[in-house]
Structure formats: C-alpha cells, structure tokens
Structure 1
Amino acid sequence: MDALQILCAPFLFLAFYVISYHFFHKLRNHPPSPFPALPIIGHFHLLSQPFHRALIKISNRYGPVLLLRFGSRPVLLVSSPSAAEECFTKNDVVLANRPKFLGGKIFGYEYTSLAWSSYGEHWRNLRKLSTIEVLSAHRIQVLSEIRTDEAKSLIRRLFRSSQNTSDNMVEVKSAVYDYTFNVITRMVTGKRFFGEKVENADEAKLYKEIGDETTRLVIQSGVLDYFPVLKWIGYKGIVKEMKKMQERRNQFMHNIIEQHRQKTKSNGAGENGGKNSKTILEVLLGLQETDADYYSDEIIISLLYVLLHAGSETSATTLEWAFSYLLENPRIMKKAKAEIDLQVGHTRLVEESDMGKLPYIRCIVNETLRLQPAAPLLVPHFSGEECHVGGYRVPKGTIVLVNAWGIQRDPKVWEDPETFNPERFESFKSSKDHAFKFMPFGSGRRSCPGENLAIRVVELALGLLLQCFDWENPSKETIDKTDSSGFIAAKLTPLVAKCSPRSEMVTTLSQI
C-alpha cells in the first residue's frame, strides 16, 4: 500500500496542479494560457525560430489574446486586429511604456532614450523633439538633396560595376545598405561612412564595429531579461562587456559632436550654412545652446543612436525583401517599369517629386511591408497599470507583444494572404484604410516617428533600381525567403541577383 501511494503521489500532485491552475486562472479572468507553463522556463518550450512564426502557430491554436510566461516575465501575445485596436486606442496610455530590459538600461541611458523611455513628461518631450525638430515633414524635405545624392551614388556604383564585371552579380542587401546608412548618417551628422568619398575610413570602420558589437551584446543579454538570476551565476561577463561597449559608443559620438562644434565655430553659421539646411546634429546643438540642462550631450547622443540604428537596417531589409518578391513575380516588375517609363522616361532619373505619379511603387512597398514588416513583433510594450484586452484582465507589469507579421498574413483579414499582390493596395490612401490590419510601423503613441522618412528612402531607391536596371534571379530555384528571429526580421540567406543596365538607360547612366 505504501508503495502504491508513492507511485500515485506524483500523478495526484500533477492533477491538483492542473485543476488549481485552471481554477485560479479563470477566477482572475486572465487571458487563456497554454498548458503547461513549465517551472523556470515558462512557455519557452513552445517556441522555435523565427519567433514571430512560432507565436502565430500558438495563437492559431489557443486564440488571438494569450497570456504567456517567458521565464520570470508575463507576456501578453496579441494576434488580431480587434485586440491590437484595443491596445493602441482604449489602452494606449497604459501600454505606452517599455519593459525594463538590460539593453535599455545600459545602451538606453537608464531607460531615458526615445526608444526605451516609458510614457511620461520626458518621453513626451523627446517625441515632440523628434517629430517637430528632427523628423518633421519640413526637415525631411529640406534634406532631400542628401537622399538624391546617395541614390545617384548607388546607381553609379552598380552601373560601373556592371561595366567591369562579366557576371553582373549583386548582393542586394550589401548594395542598398550603403545607401540607406549613408542617407541617415549624412542627415544626422553630415558624414558619409561607406562607399564613395569617405572622409575617414578608420572612423567608418570603428562605427561598423561598434554597431555590430552592440547588436551582438543586445541579443546575448536577452536571456538575462527573462532569467535575471543568471546575472549572478555566470552571465556577469555580458554586463561588463555591455558597459565597456557603452563607453566606446559614448566616446565615438562625443568625438563627432566635438568635430561639429569646432566646424560651427570656424564656419560661423554651421557646416551646411542656413538654418533650414542644417544637419540634425546641428539642430540639436543649437537647441543645447538655449537649454543646456535638458539638451545634454547624453540626450543628444541617445537620440542620434536611435536614428542611426533604426533608420538604416530596417530600410535596407525592406528593399532586399522587395526584390526577393519582385524576382519571383516578373509581371509585377514589368508593370512597375512600364509606369516609370510612361511617367518619367529614359532621359533623366526618377526623383522623389515623381512618386506622386508612381503609385504602383508605393503599392509594392506596402505589399512588401505587409508580408515582411521589418519589426514583425513591433517594439515591446509594457502595462503600467492593470487593463483589459479582449474582455480579459491584463495584470500590471505585463510585456505586450503585438504580432504584426501574423495579423498581416491572417486569412480572416486578407484575401490570399501569402501571395505577393501589390494591387491589393491600389485603393489604399492611408494607414486608416487598413487600421490595425496593416501596421508595419506600429500604431498609437509609440508608433515609429520615422515612417515618412523610411517610405521616402525605400521608394526612391526602388524606383531608381527598377528604372535603371534589369534584374534576374540567376538560379532557377525558388528564392529562399526564410527570415531570422530578432527585433528585425532580416532575410537569412542574402539575396544575390543579376543586375544589368537597361539598354534604354545606358546613355543617361553614363552621364551621372
């Protein structure tokens, strides 16, 4: 009898745990939660890479509003337009916070940067600064010459390369990254870091190293965000590395700031002359002169890093995905080229001012962003207070993940969602037309303030690359569209394409 009791004890304990778990879960009116949540790791055993694909499988099985546990952290997973709408309208203020991740503590200056600051007066000041002084429509338009210059540089490099090589093979991401990164760095600091006429190659190399190392450390530190006890049993080294890297990041940007200060003193009116044509850094330094206590070097540096990191990688990723789909859909590529030929012709290059006459380019960009949003889970939100989503009670202190990737591929929302079909956006006027069904830049108070700039950067490059070159898939195999895990869902296998100057454009290309 004693032996039988011993054998039955684990099963009785498991049965008691299951019954009590479900009873108390329903009593508290929490969202559904997959069973089991294992000790210590929670629901991590249900995940595989890439996470946004694994999470939509979980949502399809258990529902569009779920309460998960990742290690020690409660996580609300939202995978429907109606639930997303509740998050970004009724609960927008409550969820306008950021979780206290280690990357935000160290690289976000104790959670004071625009990306990592929680909702409050400080964040509102930073948001106002970014939308009015830094990323306003006027400021973006004033600096359009930089985007035009870098786009021409991209086209020129590809054309010259085609004249000097026989296979005309191009790794698309590498080519367009130089363009997107230089656009941001020149708008922000006035410096070109890659490609032609680089002022300081060592400085450019150092920045690349800093960026790569920062990304690596943020990824590695992610485990500490969900299992903080590991900081004391073997992961202290990561924290030390992050702090050392932050010192290098600060020193690098301090040097850039000091260079600008010296040029401002020597030029009198700033490197770029008049007020309207100043770089973003010059604008911020001008604000520092009027309010040095608030616009400290730390505040300026944190904002500059947000702009540099968020603005370049995402746009380059979107362009690579666009060509991945276009190469598999020659009809769509042909239609886009025909529109460009009709509206612009062959004697000059596409310009930003032409985009209003090229609506199909915007359709291609939107369809790319629908299928492959650069940030598939958006940026994590955090509940500052208890709230309700989908009729369920969401506890205070819950991380909120909105699976934009899943929502934008939901067959209940989109017809034939896995098909690349830009025509579905032909009647699309603004994000309100597909509110909470299409939100690659997020929604609500914490939506991406750089949406307008990102669209301009991507559209201009896409229009020029289609106008000037013929693109082919060198392989007869289907293009691998496996995407990566992480904040940015990049293409795992770099896209290599055959790029040949269009015969109608050779004369124009030879003159740039």
Structure 2
Amino acid sequence: MEPSWLEMRWARPLYLAFVFCLALGLLQAIKLYLRRQRLLRDLCPFPAPPTHWFYGHQKLLQDGEMEKLEELVGKYPCAFPCWVGPFQVFFYIYDPDYAKAFLSRTDPKSKYLYKFLIPCLGKGLVSLEGPRWFQHRHLLTPGFNFNILKSYVEVMAHSVNTMLGKWEKICGPQDTIVEVFEHITLMTLDILMKCVLSQETNCQTSSTHDLYVKATFEASKIIFHRLYNFLHHLDIIFKFSPQGHRLQEMVKILHQYTEKIIQDRKKLLKNEKKYGNTQKRKYQDFLDIILSAQAENDNNFSDTDLQSEVNTFMLAGQDTMAGGISWLLYHLALNPEHQERCREEIRGILGDGSSITWDQLGEMSYTTMCIKESLRLAPPVPSISRELSKPITFPDGRSLPAGITVVLSIWGLHHNPAIWENPKVFDPSRFSQENSDQRHPHSFLPFSAGPRNCIGQQFAMIELKVAIALILLRFKVSPDPTRPLVFLPQIVLKPKNGVYLHLKKLP
C-alpha cells in the first residue's frame, strides 16, 4: 500500500508551514474582529452616517464633496466617526470646545497622513514629534521675527508686479477671462524661491520650473487618495501600485531640485569664507537661518534635517499661499461691493501703489477683515489630525480612548451653523473687533492653534495683504458664471478645474 502524500518526508514541512500560516491568518482575523468590536463600543456615544460594512465611509469623503461634509456637520453636532475600511476610523471634530480640548494637548501627529507625507517632505516640523520637534521649532523661529519679515515686503511686491505685468499683456484694454490659479501658483513659487533660497528663477516668465510645480501638485494628489484608500495604507501594496511608482518619481524630482540649491549655497558660503569676499545680500533668507542653526548645532541638525525643513517650507508654503490668494480673489470677485471697499481703502493708503511698506500693511483694516473671511470660507489646510496618546474627555462628558485618530476639520469648524450665522455668506463684518471678541477663540483656526500652530502665519498674512493690495489697484475682477470654483480637498485645498476670472485693467 502506497503511503499518503502527508507521510512523505518532503511534504511534512509544507504541511506544517500551511498549518502555521493558517493559524497566523486566523489569529490576525480574530485580532481585527476584536479591534472592530472595541472601536464600535468606544464610538457608541457618537452617532455616525450610514456606513458600508467593508468600505466604511471611504466613498463619502474621497470624492471631495465639501457640501457633503457641511451636511454632516449640520446633522451631527460636534463630531462624527468616519470609517475608512472595516478596521480603521478617523474621528472628525468641528466644535470650538472640542477643538480647544484637542489642541491644548501634545498628542503625536496621525501616523497615517504624516507617515504618507514623509517621502515628500522628510522629517521636518510637519512630521516631527517630541523633543526633536521642539528643537527644530526653537531653531527656526528666528526666521520669522518681524525684522526678517519686514525685508520680505519689497521682495513679495516685486513678484506680484511681475505677475500683474503678465496679466496686462494678456488682457490689454479688454475685459479678458484668465485662469488665474496657475499664474498665482508661479508667483507664490517665485516669492518662496527668493525668501527661502534667494533664487532669482524667472519661473513666472519661463517654463523652466513647470516640472517642479507639476510634481508638487501630483504628489499632493496621490497622498490624499492614498489616505482614503485603506488598502494603500499597507506600504507593500502601495509601493508596487502605479500610484506608488509615480509618487517615487515625483519625490525624486522635488528632492533633486532642492538638494542642488542647498549644495550650491554651501559651496558659495565656503568659498566666501575661504577667500574673504563675503557678499552682503539685501535680506536674510530662510536658508541662511537654517544654515546658521546647523552651524551652531552641528551634532543635532544634520544635512538631512536641513533638506527636510527646506522641502517643508517650499512645498507647504507654495500650496497654501497659492490657494489662499486665489480664494480671496475669487470671493472678492463674487462680492463686488466688498472688492470696491477694499480698493478704496488701499488707494487711500498706497496711492498709485508705486511702493508698499511694512507699516502700510498694518493700516489695511477692512482688507484684513476680508482676508480673514476668505480664510474662514476656504481654509487652505482643510484639516489637521493627531493620534491620541491618552484618553480624552470632551466638555460635554463624552470620551475617546487612546489610539484613536482625531481629525480637526477646519472646514467643518468654519462652516458650522452652530457658530456662524449663514456660514456660506461672505461677510467680513464677522471679523470686526466687536464681533471677534464675542466669539469663541477656537471658532476660527486657519493657522491652527496651541503649541503646534503654523510657524509661518505672519509670513502668510503679509503675502496675502501685499498680493491683494497690488492686484486691486491695477485690476477689477469678476467671476465667470460658466465656470464656478469647485474645491478639491487634498492635503491642502485645490481648485478642481482652475480659477477663472474676468480681469479688467483699471485706468
């Protein structure tokens, strides 16, 4: 009688391996099932939208319908859990008391979103935690003091005027429809190249840097879609996917570009020191600040740290500022009475706009109110997230355990009808001193709040004021009703189909 295959010597290891893998798979399935049951129990106090048993709410928010989020904010007070697949949940909050409790803590950044950002940005302020984050923040803060920022006003004005010169050539004396987002994106890149790296690139008038701009846009898009595709949370699946391969290509372009600039600056400084022919520049750029920090803290601030911080400010700064200026221009186009009032204020301060100074920016009170209202309606960063390191109890008594990923929806907070009357209406008077004083301090958070607030918020406000002041002095803007603005919420807010405006040169 022939022995069965299990009795053969060669088959026994295979059989044992099969049983072992089966047992591991069963244990993992039990572990996932228990995780889901624990999450369901922990989130029981918080009602949620109807969910698919396998996809969860993946399709609900992945499609980027901001109206759907606003609908949920109105239906579920304070917060709701958002399932991404059957075993992972993001807990959305959009209530000022919830936001205050959340931002007053020092929980680490979400391992999902910020882990996905590291290939693009490296480990800089956006992704670092604990003592390393504190050290970087302390070293970089001098780059944003008022004396440094004052010197950037003239630089910003020059870049904005370059863009306006292009618009004048495009429009001539006629009222012309222009897709302005592309122009504004190149203008903000031009400003950052000068303020961060002292690079005169002519990127607004030549196509040399198109590849860099496209790489930043495409990388952001891929990371956003990865966030809401739970299968791509697994590195091994994402790495071998078409999107994973494409992201590697984009990251290579971005890193090679900034690395070359950094190494060229280091060589220049080395030669200046060697031959004693130091060139005094008009202003101190951000790279100067980082190189100075590296020289003083060589053991604690490596070349990798340096490149990570440059990448962070270049990529994060460009995307957020291009959006912020574009949304502001669009909102003023939709509301001509506010546009004209801003223009009158700016003319009274700047005259013909032949020059613009730091002190003049502080006089633009109504324009500043319009900027804040635009940031409320369209916050450039629509959400931030943290992973709870310990349980949290919200002011209404409901709690969450450690390990939950909490997403502060800044968009939801800014459109919450419980806070803002008629939240879709553009109303700058919301930000009069009187109205601001009566509102919860965590109702308006375009730059976040707490210990990890945006280090570049003063830089951003200056750029917004300079850009809108010079634009309104030279152009009247109105919307194209055939192509309304549609927001695409990625890591930062983007226009789905561009931003089209009628531009009319003012006499």
**Interval of TM-score (by shorter of Structure 1 and Structure 2):** 0.7 to 0.9
TM superposition shift of 1:238 = 4.3
**Partner in structure 2 of residue 222 of structure 1:** 227
Q: Distance in 1 between matches of 2:187 and 2:254?
A: 23
How many Å apart are 1:462 and its aligned residue? 0.4
Residue in 1 that maps onto 2:126: 115
Post-superposition offset of 1:299: 0.5
Determine the structure 2 residue equivalent to 1:129: 139
Structure 2: state its 5+ residue gaps: 1-33
Determine if the alignment matches structure 1 residue 60 to structure 2 residue 74: yes
For the Cα contact (< 8 Å) 1:210–1:248, is it kept in 2? Answer: yes
Q: CA 1:205–1:484 in 2, change beyond 3 Å: closer, same or farther?
A: closer
SS of alignment partner, residue 282 of structure 1: helix
- 1:374 & 1:329 partners in 2: Cα distance? 20
Alignment of 1:324-343 (within 5 A): 324-343=330-349
Question: Which of 165, 176, 181 is 1:156 aligned to?
Answer: 165
Deviation at 1:211, TM superposition (A): 2.1
Counterpart residue type for residue 120 of structure 2? F
Conserved 8 A contact 2:163-2:204: no
- Return the TM-score normalized by structure 1: 0.81
| TM-aligned CA distance change 1:371 to 1:457, over 3 Å | same
Give the Cα separation in 2 of the matches to 1:285 and 1:44.
Answer: 43
Shift of 1:291: 2.7
Once residues 42 and 190 of structure 1 are traced to their aligned partners in structure 2, the CA distance between those partners, rounded to angstroms, is 47
Structure 1 window deviating more from structure 2 (37-46 vs 489-498): it is 37-46
Amino acid at match of 2:493: A
Question: Could you say which residue in structure 1 is the equivalent of 2:103?
Answer: 88
1:103 is matched with which residue? 116
Residue 96 of structure 1: how far off its partner (Å) = 4.4
The 5 Å alignment of 1:34-433 reads 34=48, 37-44=51-58, 46-47=60-61, 49-50=63-64, 52-71=66-85, 72-89=87-104, 92-93=105-106, 95-101=107-113, 102-109=115-122, 112-118=123-129, 120-132=130-142, 134-163=143-172, 166-195=174-203, 202=208, 204-223=209-228, 228-229=233-234, 231-232=236-237, 235-236=240-241, 238-243=243-248, 245-268=250-273, 273=280, 277-346=283-352, 348-377=354-383, 379-389=384-394, 390-427=396-433
Of the structure 1 ranges 78-87 and 21-30, higher mean CA displacement relative to structure 2 is found in 21-30
Greater CA drift, 37-46 or 291-300: 37-46
Give 2:12's aligned residue.
Answer: none
Question: Are the equivalent residues in 1 in contact too, given 2:93–2:408 (CA < 8 A)?
Answer: yes
Give the stretch that moved more between structures: 245-254 or 300-309.
245-254
- CA positional deviation for 1:323: 2.1
The separation in 2 between residues aligned to 1:316 and 1:432, in whole angstroms, is 31
Paired residues in the alignment total 469
Does 1:459 pair with 2:461? no
List gaps (5 residues or longer) in structure 1: 1-19, 504-512
**1:53, 1:406 within 8 Å by CA — same for their partners in 2?**
no
2: CA distance between counterparts of 1:181 and 1:66?
A: 37
Amino acid at match of 1:126: H
**What letter matches 1:253 in structure 2?**
T
- What SS is found at the alignment partner of 1:439? coil
TM-score, scaled relative to structure 2: 0.82
1:43–1:68 contact (8 Å) kept in structure 2: yes
Misfit runs of 4+, over 6 Å: 20-27, 428-432
Determine the C-alpha separation between the residues in 2 that align with 1:493 and 1:271: 47
Task: Provide the secondary structure at the position in 2 that maps to 1:357.
Answer: coil
User: d(CA) in 2 for partners of 1:498 and 1:447?
Assistant: 36
C-alpha deviation, 1:491, in angstroms? 2.8
- Shift in Å, 1:282: 2.4
1:143-185 CA-partner distances (Å, limit 9, x unpaired): 333212212222333234334x755332221222222111111
- C-alpha contact 2:332 2:339 (8 A) present in aligned 1: yes
C-alpha spacing 1:348/1:228, structure 2 compared with 1 (3 Å): closer
Q: Counterparts of 2:43 and 2:504 in 1: how far apart (Å)? A: 60
- Cα offset for 1:430? 7.7
Q: CA deviation at 1:373?
A: 0.8
Task: Tell me, in whole angstroms, the C-alpha distance in 1 between the residues paired with 2:408 and 2:496.
Answer: 23
- Partner in structure 1 of residue 10 of structure 2: none
Measured in 2, the distance between the counterparts of 1:372 and 1:252 equals: 30
| Aligned equivalents of 2:45, 2:277: Cα separation in 1 | 56
* TM-fit CA distance, 1:425: 1.5
The answer as to whether partners of 2:227 and 2:233 remain within 8 angstroms in 1 is no
The residue number in structure 1 matching 2:494 is 490
Q: Which position in structure 2 is the counterpart of 1:16?
A: none
Distance 1:180 1:227, change over 3 A: closer
For the residues of structure 2 that align with 1:180 and 1:231, how far apart are their CA atoms? 36
1:442 matched to which residue of 2? 448
1:230 Cα offset (Å): 7.9
- Supply the distance in 2 between the matched residues of 1:152 and 1:105 (Cα, whole angstroms): 35
Q: Conserved in 2, the CA contact under 8 Å of 1:337 and 1:467?
A: yes
Determine if contact 2:334/2:478 at 8 Å carries over to the other structure.
Answer: no
Instruction: Please name the residue that 1:7 is paired with.
Output: none
User: How far has the Cα of 1:47 moved from its partner?
Assistant: 3.9
2:146 partner letter: A
Q: Which 10-residue stretch deviates more, 300-309 or 177-186?
A: 177-186
Query: Following TM superposition, by how much is the alpha carbon of 1:365 offset from its aligned partner in structure 2, in angstroms?
Result: 0.4
* Pairwise CA distance, 1:331: 1.2
